[in-house]
Amino acid sequence: MQQRGKRQVGETHKQALNPKVFELAHYTLRETDVNPTAEEAKKQGKCIIDCRLGDPVVFGLFTYPRYRRYVVEAWDDPKTYRYGDACGLPELREILARGNVEFGTKGYALPPHHVFIGSGISGVARGLLTTLINPTNGDEVVIPKWSYIIYLAESALSGAVVRNVDLTSAGIVNLAKLEDSINAKTKAVFITTVGNPLGVAMAPETFAQIIDMVNRKEREFSHPIYLIADTIYEDFRVGPPLDPIQLSIQHGRIGPTIELYSISKMISAPGLRLGWMRVFHNEDGFPDHVHAFCEGYTIGRQPSLGPASTASQLALIKLYSGLDDGEHRREFDDFRSERRNTVRSRVQTTLEALSHVENVVFPQYYYADGTLNLDVLNSFYILLGVDHSLCPRNEFSQARRMADYHLQNFETVLLATPGDHFLAHEFRGHTQKQEYMRIVALSDDPKSIADAVRRFAESTKK
């Protein structure tokens, strides 16, 4: 099956264009081999359980009411209808410079011109790597395996060499191998503090060790290594959230630490495309490099005439101003607590239901002393697969084969994302026999998901 409306383009015609753009085809969640089956299922009017994209709103986890109200009110503000500052509204950048407002963390301040608003984390990441990477120098970035693909994608587009680092059996980056991967050409180390697709949370002590390690490497090579921390799932962590900037201050970070965050997950506003980058650095550690980076990023954003809708930013200014002065902090914290508990309950019941499906396997990272640990997941994703001895790799992913089987035999089709999409392209397939797929575990009907996986698993034994 081929996707309707798509025309196959020959390699000769692609060669006339920027070849780096076509490398992005390896790193997308929206264009996988599951899509043709999904389109056919829609055409046939099948019931679809779509667990491909982590959009909370799709699963009934709607936008924080006060923020939604502020967005509506913003449309009555005349300032909504003008161009915004290319790097974000100054009032919002000033608020975000005063500690981590979302988490209620204070006690430090950043220069407002070191805070940048973007079209979600993905919009920020493109500008970040475009500014940071000089491909003619052979610049490298270090990214742990099983990471969110946006960093692999934007590294490919920028021309960076990617070093994929193995994880420990607990699902956290192997610190010894991380240190071995950092060399004189390393420009950045990417760390997702609560992982996607694994959902495993890094301990603050581990992040502190990474700070010390990167500091040592900066001293060794006499240039900054940007420590970039994606904290988008910190709101769902069991226990206090990890604040990478606060830890960088406490542990004497030399070079720059960059935090990436977005409102799309906890507040549930992915369609408003609002995220940001906060750049911390020690004034005694490579200040000229960091100021040049911020200037370059600013210049790179100028042609955009604005990174995200003005209404979204005005609403967030109003919301965060109220959080900052305590006006509705308790209401917001209660919402976050309830949302976190809802997500955790759905993830755990889904994992529990799937754990009883025969011949379904999970990554080793989900186990403790040989027992499946329901508490290990701190986001809303589950990685699973049918035992490779029953379902060996072939031209299609397990996620595609599962969808095809449901389409041909049942009225309900379960859609998942191929797990290989979360690995660098060169590590897919041949480096591991077991194949996985990622399921968004936010459904309030985990039994239906488990039943659909069971039907596919049973079919592989025939």
Q: Which residues of the chain have pLDDT under 70?
A: 1-11, 105-106, 430-431, 462
Q: Distance between CA atoms of 77 and 75, rounded to whole angstroms?
A: 5
pLDDT at position 2 is 45
Comma-separated ranges of CATH 3.40.640.10 domains in the chain:
65-324
| Radius of gyration, alpha carbons of the chain | 22
Across the beta sheet with 417-418, what order do the strands follow?
A: 360-361, 381-386, 437-440, 417-418
> How confident is the model over 180-203, as pLDDT tens digits?
999 999 999 999 999 999 999 999
Q: Helix crossing, 446-459 with 329-355: angle to 10°?
A: 30
Per CATH, the architecture of 11-54+334-459 is what? Alpha-Beta Complex (3.90)
Q: For the stretch 139-171, what's the b/e string if a residue is b when 16 or more beta carbons lie within 10 angstroms of its beta carbon?
A: bbbbbbbbbbbbbbbbbbbbbbebbbbebeebb
8 Å CB contact between 259 and 229: yes
Instruction: Enumerate the CATH 3.90.1150.10 domain ranges in the chain, comma separated.
Output: 11-54+334-459
N-to-C CA span, the chain: 24
**10 phi-psi bin (left φ>0, alpha ψ -120 to 50, beta other):** beta
Picking from 242, 152, 251, 160, the residue whose alpha carbon sits closest to that of residue 210 is: 251
65-324: CATH class: alpha beta
The pair of structure tokens assigned to 382 is 């589950």
Burial of 448 from C-beta contacts in 10 A (0-12 / 13-18 / 19+): middle
- Residue 340 makes CB contacts below 8 A (sequence gap 6+) with 235, 236
* The pair of three-digit structure tokens given for residue 158, joined into one six-digit string: 């920028």
The helix/strand count (H/E) of the chain reads as 15, 15
Q: What is the pLDDT of residue 106?
A: 66
With beta carbons less than 8 A apart as the criterion, state whether 193 and 228 touch: no
